[in-house]
Amino acid sequence: MDNTITTSWPLLSVLVWLPLLGSAGVLLAGNQRPSMARWLALLVAAATLLLSLQLWLGFDSATAAMQFSEMKAWIPAFKVNYHLGVDGFSMPLILLTTIFGVIVIVAGWEVIKERVHQYMAAFLMLQAALTGVFAALDGMLFYVFFEAMLVPMFLLIGVWGGPNRVYAAVKFFLYTFLGSVFMLIGLIYLYLQSGTFEILSWHDLPLTMTQQKWIFLGMLAAFAVKIPMWPVHTWLPDAHVEAPTGGSIVLAAVMLKVGGYGFIRFSLPITPDASAMLDWVVIGLSLIAVVYIGFVALVQTDMKKLIAYSSITHMGFVTLGLFIAFSIYRGSPEGFGAAMGVEGAMMQMISHGFISGALFFVVGVLYDRMHTRDIADYGGVANTMPWFAMFAVLFFMANSGLPGTSGFVGEFMVILASFNASLWIAFFAAFTLIMGAAYNLWLVKRVFFGEVRNDNVARLTDINSREVLILTVLALAVLIIGLYPQPLLNVMHVSVEHLLQQITTTKII
Amino acid sequence: MKVETILLLIPLLPLAGALIAGLFRNQIGRAGSHWVTILGVGGSFVLSALILKMQVYDGMQSMNYSLYTWGISDSITFQVGFLIDHLTTLMMVVVSFVSLMVHIYTVGYMQDDPGYQRFFSYIALFTFSMLMLVMSNNFLQLFFGWEAVGLVSYLLIGFWFKRETAIFANMKAFMVNRVGDFGFLLGIAAIMMVFGTLDYAEVFAAAPSKVNETIAVFGTTEWSAITFICVGLFIGAMGKSAQAPLHVWLPDSMEGPTPISALIHAATMVTAGIFMVARMSPLFELSDAALSFVLIIGAFTALSMGLIGIVQNDIKRVIAYSTLSQLGYMTVALGASAYSAAIFHLMTHAFFKSLLFLAAGSVIIAMHHEQDMRNMGGVRRWMPITWITSVVGTLALIGFPFFSGFYSKDMIIEAVGEAHRFGSGFAYWAVLLGVLITAFYSFRLLYLVFHGKPRMDKHTQEHMHETPLVVTIPLILLAIPSVLIGYFTIEPVLFGGWLDDAIKVNEHHDVIAELSLHFHGATAMALHSVQTIPFWLMLGGFALATWIYMFKPSIADSMVKRFSGIYKLLMNKYYFDDFNNKVFARGFVRIGQSLWKRGDAGLIDGVAINGTAALIGKLGERVRLLQSGYLYQYAFAMIIGLIGLLGAWLLV
């Protein structure tokens, strides 16, 4: 089957290369002209965002085939192609990337005062790499982008980070890098088996159970670290704590989704039999993420760490939703609920993008004013920053899965889906209702409510128009997705069906 | 105007009011915020009344339609839509009317509060959420309304967010409700699995054919799916409608301003659970086990919470425990399959309980926000309207013949008497004994506040006067239905089949049909009541309270001494709070600490990561050397790589 629909206009390439060229331009602006660097970066990011809307408008949700495809030979000796394309999974994630491309630049606008050009350039580079990861249809190209996104993030943490930034940056780098080495071995093995780096060809490649198991584990190492899953999650809180606000926003909002996307693009369709055999591992780890990490989030004293841990529990729903399909199919061949699990996982990824991005921005707003993230240093912020408190309460409520916000959609769908597999899986997943409310509301109570706790809080000034703008955009996104998720669900249906067909077809001959 | 447009405006008008008052609070000012929300909620009430009129006089049929498709996944189409039958309309009218009264009253009550606009925004938002809940035609929207009212309740309990007690109470309320919602969500998940839809009508139509469906629990153990669903949903109702042991949040919710205690924590939101179970009657009727569970929980709540009300000294807390007890009565009615009696009591209770709360608020205003009844007394001489309306509310609450509460409560008691379900014997005694207790604590409150010698300080006493019209007019407007609504509606609502289009009862346990055989009109029922046990129990409670609090106050003290054990138990509210604090609140934090310190920091980072690092030993040294020059090198390599990539692509 030829999965390629070619367009006359290389939109995806533009989305990848425009930010990269832009970042070169921003670097050229130099350290002496920060304002020019900012405006140029904003211009590039905004142009990319506008162009990316064409992906949404021109997307055909009736087909699971790759769209906006581009294909050129890149390294013919190894049959490595420059192959880009999107389906119902990657298209929304690319949009998420381009939206946050603009948001982080505005978020760092006047906050970053040193090496502005490098900071802005790093984000544009990061955006290019992330778009590339989601668009790549060639295994090697994917790997290149996958590794490339580490560099700007490493720099962002290492240069603009907090006091312990070197430790965090190295930990972040080593974890992800070690994970991806196993993936690379898997990719090369697949190449040797199939003679191509085409991911779509790998989807149809017959593999024995033993082969599948090893490939599955290799991929799992990379994606489990990236998303992250317990017990390879400990790099995330450290990275978040040390990263500058913008770095945390992109890390949480977009970068973690690469892990979830990896499962969708690689593990599930390439090794469906191994995924079915080892699904209990992923489900078990997902439930640990929901319950165990929920408890850990509760006792955090650092706001960023708390949100980082809450990210891990939310990503637990992504892996749960993706892997619940197998046990649903084991129970009943018609597989009622399997699609809801996968779509719930996708919704959870997109929603978490907006909510966690907003929450890290919220912490950033406080940090810019108080230079502390310690919950104990706050108290009664609502007295001095009433408008800010309104936004913050909304986002923390969304983070605890309040219906009407996007945070509800994915969790609801995944819990409903997992009930079809097992009462107990749904039971432990639904535990998030209690834990989520506990850690979010307790933070809100300690930071925002109560009497003004100290002079520093008393001196706080409410959000400025730049901050209002960002928070409003994110709040609207969270509410619109929560009240009307159908347009988003609609673009993924056919791709989800296609994926379910792939995972229910054995590759063992 | 099309009916659909009217129905859409009913929830959207308060929402518009809430958004304007909340987001443009500085532009429209204080008066602007109360006008915009009062107009919104007032419009909502008028339109609800119009729908009621169309149903009663113009023979409007029930409507069930979708507004928009929220999402499609698998074979499920999640809709947002309305089911407008008689039950819905009744709730719409009650909710919008009480809400309107509370809005007007708030103009007086919150007069000097700096958060005036915010308050109006919240209560209008609440009205929207509650209307969405009752008008829903599916479980998704029900859950939306369910959690949305919980959110607004959270915001309003913590309205005075500087107070430590208020922000403790609001978090507690949300948490306890989330425990209930945990069950609720699992119930909804089970519905989706068993029925393959979340639409009410489809679920109800298919329900009888699913009686034998089961859900696998452990190995070969299977539970009846319908029972699982009903118990799950009811656990949600236990949170929202504050049934023991999930009742603990409601007394603390009194930290919120009094108008919302009347609106949310007495008249409307806390009855959402009752409404929901009545709405789900086609499901609950299929599970005797679930109904017995409902019956026993309700009976326990009705009795045990009334007893606590006797020993409370805070005026609002007495009414709060009374609310818990009355919610127990409604739950008992549900458990006895007397759903319409539960809804009937829900309606009368909404009027007289919000009246009692608002009257208490009126006293609190006059007392300069003093709530301890030991510092009141003799208030009636300064506040005649508040006093009379309080007496009306009290008579309705204790079930004095001809008053609204008489009809609804008596029907519940008789219905339980007719029921033959497991637990109905206990429930019958509980609700009978509850009558005595209700009369006792109600008159205790009335005497301590309005009668006897004034016990407030000189300063307060000199400034005592009746509250302004914005406060007293809602009291009067609520007093009227508190007296009359029962007399005039018992026949249609209970025996005229008004709710038959919503409530389905299996004929084998249709206790209301049994009762209808003995019903000969509202007047006859009231006159006949002197021959019934509840009437004399009520008089007994009244006599006891009068004797103790009007004539022999010393008895109260000696009783406290003689029964100090029981007194301590009641004062400590059966130790529910202590248990929750010690076991759950502290336990959870302790678990979190140990998982974090021992698990994440100790085992994973400590042993696994650092251990591996140590093992690698000298290799680690080298890695470290490599890292020192890392930044620069890697960035360089990266840029070279990208240029190479770009170049290769351009060349090919």
* Domains: count for chain A: 1
Residue B619 contacts A where some CB pair is shorter than 8 Å: no
Are B96 and B10 in contact, with CB atoms under 8 Å apart? yes
| Residue B84 per-residue DSSP state | E
Give whole-number Cα distances, B116 to B20, B120, B269, in Å.
13, 7, 22
B650, pLDDT greater than 60: no
What is the pLDDT, as a whole number, of residue A167? 83
A398, pLDDT greater than 90: yes
In a domain, A392, yes or no: yes
Are A218 and A278 in contact, with CB atoms under 8 Å apart? no
What would the mean pLDDT of B261-273 be, rounded to a whole number?
93
Total residue count of chain B as it appears in this document: 652
What phi and psi values does residue A81 have, to the nearest 5 degrees? -110, 150
Q: Is the dihedral angle over the CA atoms B375, B381, B382, B386 positive or is it negative? A: positive
Angle at A138 between CA A137 and CA A144, to 5 degrees: 110
In a domain, A120, yes or no: no
| B588 vs A contacts (CB less than 8 Å) | 295, 298, 438
The three-class DSSP label of residue A221 is: helix
In a domain, A147, yes or no: no
Q: Which two tokens stand for residue B258?
A: 């009094």
What is the pLDDT, as a whole number, of residue A281? 93
| B599 vs A contacts (CB less than 8 Å) | 292, 296
Distance of alpha carbon A261 from alpha carbon A250, whole angstroms:
16
Distance of alpha carbon B267 from alpha carbon B241, whole angstroms:
11
Interface of A with B in 433-452 (CB under 8 A): 433-434, 437-438, 441-442, 445, 448-451
The three-class DSSP label of residue A111 is: coil
Segments forming the whole domain that contains residue A426? 278-509
Angle at B519 between CA B279 and CA B401, to 5 degrees: 90
Are B81 and B138 in contact, with CB atoms under 8 Å apart? yes
pLDDT band with cut points at 50, 70 and 90 for residue A408: very high
Mean pLDDT over each residue of chain B, to the nearest integer? 90
The predicted-structure confidence for A453-473, as pLDDT tens digits, reads as follows 899 999 999 999 999 999 999
| CA A154 to centroid of chain Cα atoms | 17
A406, pLDDT greater than 50: yes
- Check A340 against B73: CB less than 8 A apart: yes
pLDDT band with cut points at 50, 70 and 90 for residue A88: very high
The three-class DSSP label of residue A161 is: coil
The predicted-structure confidence for A495-505, as pLDDT tens digits, reads as follows 999 999 999 99
B183, pLDDT greater than 60: yes
The three-class DSSP label of residue B378 is: coil
The predicted-structure confidence for A28-71, as pLDDT tens digits, reads as follows 888 888 889 999 999 999 999 999 999 999 999 999 999 999 99
Q: Hey, what amino acid is at B89?
A: T
If one counts every other C-beta atom within 10 angstroms of the C-beta of residue B151, the result is 23
* A492 contacts: CB under 8 Å, gap ≥ 6: A61, A88, A89, A92, A343, A346
Tell me the percentage of chain A whose pLDDT exceeds 90: 81
Q: CA of A401: which chain B residue's CA is closest? A: B147
| CA B544 to centroid of chain Cα atoms | 31
Distance of alpha carbon B225 from alpha carbon B509, whole angstroms:
21
Pick the residue of B23, B25, B27, B73 with the most A CBs within 10 A to test the interface with A by mutation: B73
What is the pLDDT, as a whole number, of residue A16? 94
| Residue A461 per-residue DSSP state | -
What would the mean pLDDT of B287-306 be, rounded to a whole number?
95
If one counts every other C-beta atom within 10 angstroms of the C-beta of residue B549, the result is 20
The predicted-structure confidence for A127-180, as pLDDT tens digits, reads as follows 999 999 999 999 999 999 999 998 898 888 888 888 888 888 888 888 888 888
In a domain, A8, yes or no: no
Out of B70, B76, B641, whose CB is closest to A340? B76
In a domain, A506, yes or no: yes
Longest dimension (CA), chain B: 105
In a domain, A291, yes or no: yes
What would the mean pLDDT of A249-272 be, rounded to a whole number?
95
Question: How many A/B residue pairs have CB atoms within 8 Å?
Answer: 166
Tell me the percentage of chain A whose pLDDT exceeds 70: 98
What is the pLDDT, as a whole number, of residue B225? 93
* B31 contacts: CB under 8 Å, gap ≥ 6: none
- Check A437 against B178: CB less than 8 A apart: yes
In a domain, A313, yes or no: yes
Pairing of strands A66-75, B76-84: unpaired
- Check A338 against B69: CB less than 8 A apart: no
Report the gap between the CA of B132 and the closest CA in chain A (Å): 12
What is the pLDDT, as a whole number, of residue A3? 45
What is the pLDDT, as a whole number, of residue B588? 86
Tell me the β-bridge partners of A318: none
Q: Which two tokens stand for residue B443?
A: 């008159």
Report the gap between the CA of A375 and the closest CA in chain B (Å): 16
What is the pLDDT, as a whole number, of residue B345? 96
The predicted-structure confidence for B394-406, as pLDDT tens digits, reads as follows 999 999 999 999 9
The three-class DSSP label of residue A72 is: strand
| A493 vs B contacts (CB less than 8 Å) | 72-73
B643, pLDDT greater than 70: no
In a domain, A490, yes or no: yes
Out of A296, A336, A343, whose CB is closest to B196? A336
What would the mean pLDDT of B238-247 be, rounded to a whole number?
93
Residue A167 contacts B where some CB pair is shorter than 8 Å: no
The predicted-structure confidence for A420-452, as pLDDT tens digits, reads as follows 999 999 999 999 999 999 999 999 999 999 999
Residue B485 contacts A where some CB pair is shorter than 8 Å: no
Peptide bond into B245 cis (omega under 30): yes
